[in-house]
Structure 1
């Protein structure tokens, strides 16, 4: 995956990215809140050479001091310095713990030594810094004093002349710090943001690796080796309205169904199917919405169309159009009525045969010879018959029904249907010997980053909103101009 593709993935999974960023920021804030403040006190020493003691002049003494001062800085945190300081101040630290809080540096080409002490109490940090500077000066002067001179000084109590060639003087006393040097809020926040981004990248990469759904119509075509006859964009505004195609609707969703109609007609120009079953691998893919709008698009093109609701477990076509469901396909199959007696009009060229009462044995009814006779009768009466059927994998209803049709359309929902589900549904249809017309990619991402399309759940508690105005529309179309041409 290239950088552009990865950025698209991050944009598509922006909720995950946002959660990870918030977690990172929260972690940074928590580190700042839970970290004990640390204060820093500084003191500075000047290394001078005592002229006239083993040196010829001041210039030589300056060179001597600069050469030695780098070594002095390494002595600051030794036990010879920290042990007396711990005893003097009554600290609860060990000499080694105190040494870990002390740093010393000697800038190049100078005779200065900077001592820094860190502690959780400001006043104590300053006191330790001053005590370390005093003790360090004493230790260095003793180290620089020759052994013979040290013995002479011990023997003669009146000897006043210093034997050490160097002298360390404090040039800057430690002051009590006012602000802590840690924690640093901005640094912790930046680290939290960076950690959140890295976490988001890892989580998104893992989810992409584990995600087996189809994201593009090209991917669907490669997986099934079937033509993708339509890609229906997702439209958030039509969640509760399945109907997209009418004479006044020019939305991208409506145009997508019209393109599906055109692709279906041109793809099967030599052997145009009269009875088309629309199904999906699993519930919630948009098969009923595809059936309804494909039937409307075909009727809008001047074809006499019959829409049959053969989903006898959870029918929803009648509710979509606001029609009566009690009398329909099951009524015809059990011999209580003829199809022409129970069909209902949903437009000047669209006729709907609703499901009728929900039967206890839908699989047997849909595989019966009587259903084949009904479909042939409808095919003789209408130019095309669209059959909305049950999903393929949960139930066996569509297996027998598909064998009675001239072709099958498989509806797949973008970013929801798994590859194995699609593959299993396609293989199941192929094994039964039915004619696969192609696939429909529903609820796909739009081309310009906006969301178009529809959404509904198979078997959900939500009831599709009927169109109360449908009866008025039918009456208006019938009274307008009988026998008029294509719209």
Structure 2
């Protein structure tokens, strides 16, 4: 790990660090309140020669030197048990001389004959009384040692000087010092906790770490956006300008660009969107990626390959009564169940349909392979697949497609899960096109280094353009309004228009009566239609079965062709059409 990783870890766990510091402050404050306060008072005395029996000349000659010579002796006497016993009797204390001596200290300022008594007690008054009483006990003991025991009998004794003052604050415990010490200790514990969590964290945090550990490129980074329902899972680029969805829309455009330039000569046409575990947002990514690709003018088919827990139909707002499972089971044709998404005329949705008892076998069948190949001939196919680790459906679909995008949640998915999911893809001989980091915060330690702060500048420019820009966006372009074969009336947008040439060929074949039966999966239709040949993009695929679409035609040709009664397949955008009764 680098230094920036540890710094990012400190930022990520800043709340824990602050909490540790507050705990340190609180513990220090409680400790102070539980301690017995100690007050300190000082009393001064001076060693002085008794001048009552000396003349003036003697006082001048021996006065100060005699007192100074006695000071060291007095310092020793100050620590005697006799002095402590005198104080105990004087103040009526319930303690021993040894314990009392520990609470008193006597010192002599250098160059003077002053003796300073410093006493400590649990109250200001007790400290002052103890200092003054100790000074009196020293005088009494000196009279007994150097004199005859009567007061003032010693030639050199101590005379009380400044009386002890009453202390206002205790010397112990010191609240300020205790708080500082507690805060520093809490800070140390918090930093240690953050660094330990950072070193042992196995969750995905940055794109660089993912690429280093998995050797798979990160092709997209999608910011976190709050979602409260299915309708909020889709992000409209135009409606979201200036709002929180703008960053998501820009990230999806970046993902679209990366996919387009991933392999310029042979770009992926069938892309599986999967994830290691449920809850990583793969269905939301699949739906929004399909909308983003369709917004670029490309024809896109969104296939709900999660036959166990389908979400695409609910998210896109289409019917889920019939879909992929019904097509693969032969109960319906693609032209009957393929629905145009209400959000874009270039996007078609193939719902999951009825849940089959064996999803993995259905998705891995040859009919599924032919269906995807046929769809990919005219459009980009986005498949929402189940997670890779709980079930094998996602790995099976990745083998059928050109590759898979693995969606992982930043700060939730661990590297162990990512590596296990990629290993599942490799075992199924699937190709990992890249990894998409989802739910990346816009701010904080885990925010992407390429922030979306520029959205305010783009939004401001968009606001300055005002109504003219909005009017320009409302005018459809030539690409958005393809013309009919006659060159005049626009094509009906409720029907897929993937290839103009295919549309003309299909219309001509219908006029000749070649499309009498749309149920091309039965044996009778197989006898009429020639066997389909493998497409150039799938030259190594197995030969087409009798149920495969015929060469030169395909499901979209049938979608574009009118019925005998003049109506067109798939004109209803809502619920899929029910399959017509087969001939014979």
TM-score, normalising length: structure 1: 0.81
SS in 1 for 2:406: strand
Alpha carbons 1:276, 1:387 under 8 Å: kept:
yes
C-alpha spacing 1:31/1:392, structure 2 compared with 1 (3 Å): same
Farther off after superposition, 256-265 or 90-99? 90-99
Which residue in the other structure is 1:28 paired with? 28
Farther off after superposition, 258-267 or 395-404? 395-404
Alpha carbons 1:74, 1:104 under 8 Å: kept:
no
Q: CA deviation at 1:276?
A: 0.7
Partner residue of 1:242 out of 223, 227, 233? 233
RMSD of aligned C-alpha atoms? 3.4
Which residue in the other structure is 1:373 paired with? 370
Q: CA deviation at 1:391?
A: 1.6
> For 2:302 and 2:5, how far apart are their aligned partners in 1?
41
1:180 aligns with 2:170: yes
Partner residue of 1:131 out of 133, 156, 159? 133
Which residue in the other structure is 1:463 paired with? none
> For 2:73 and 2:303, how far apart are their aligned partners in 1?
96
Alpha carbons 1:82, 1:132 under 8 Å: kept:
yes
Partner deviation per Cα, 1:296-350 (whole Å, 9 max, x = no partner): 1111111111112222333222222222223222232333222332222221111
Farther off after superposition, 288-297 or 351-360? 351-360
Q: CA deviation at 1:257?
A: 1.0
1:356 aligns with 2:349: no
Partner residue of 2:111 out of 105, 109, 112? 109
Q: CA deviation at 1:450?
A: 9.7
> For 1:485 and 1:423, how far apart are their aligned partners in 2?
45
> For 1:171 and 1:337, how far apart are their aligned partners in 2?
114
> For 2:382 and 2:61, how far apart are their aligned partners in 1?
106
Larger radius of gyration: 2
Partner residue of 1:212 out of 182, 186, 202? 202
Partner deviation per Cα, 1:121-178 (whole Å, 9 max, x = no partner): 33332222222221133345666x3xxxx6xx48xx9xx98455x4222212234444
Which residue in the other structure is 1:169 paired with? 159
Which residue in the other structure is 2:395 paired with? 399
> For 2:432 and 2:181, how far apart are their aligned partners in 1?
55
Partner deviation per Cα, 1:90-128 (whole Å, 9 max, x = no partner): 323232322332233333333333322222233332222
Farther off after superposition, 132-141 or 296-305? 132-141
Farther off after superposition, 128-137 or 75-84? 75-84
> For 1:109 and 1:239, how far apart are their aligned partners in 2?
84
Structure with larger RCO (C-alpha < 8 A, sep 6+): 1
Partner deviation per Cα, 1:396-453 (whole Å, 9 max, x = no partner): 221212111111111222222212111221122122221221111222244787969x
TM-score, normalising length: structure 2: 0.68
Partner deviation per Cα, 1:25-72 (whole Å, 9 max, x = no partner): 22122123322333333222223355779x987587656756764675
Partner residue of 2:404 out of 408, 416, 424? 408
Which residue in the other structure is 1:85 paired with? 87
Alpha carbons 2:12, 2:444 under 8 Å: kept:
no
Alpha carbons 1:246, 1:296 under 8 Å: kept:
no
> For 1:393 and 1:47, how far apart are their aligned partners in 2?
92
> For 2:215 and 2:33, how far apart are their aligned partners in 1?
58
- Structure 1: which 5+ residue stretches go unaligned? 453-476
C-alpha spacing 1:41/1:405, structure 2 compared with 1 (3 Å): same
> For 2:124 and 2:316, how far apart are their aligned partners in 1?
78
> For 1:223 and 1:311, how far apart are their aligned partners in 2?
29
SS in 1 for 2:130: helix
C-alpha spacing 1:123/1:405, structure 2 compared with 1 (3 Å): same
Partner deviation per Cα, 1:2-22 (whole Å, 9 max, x = no partner): 766544322222221232233
Which residue in the other structure is 1:328 paired with? 323
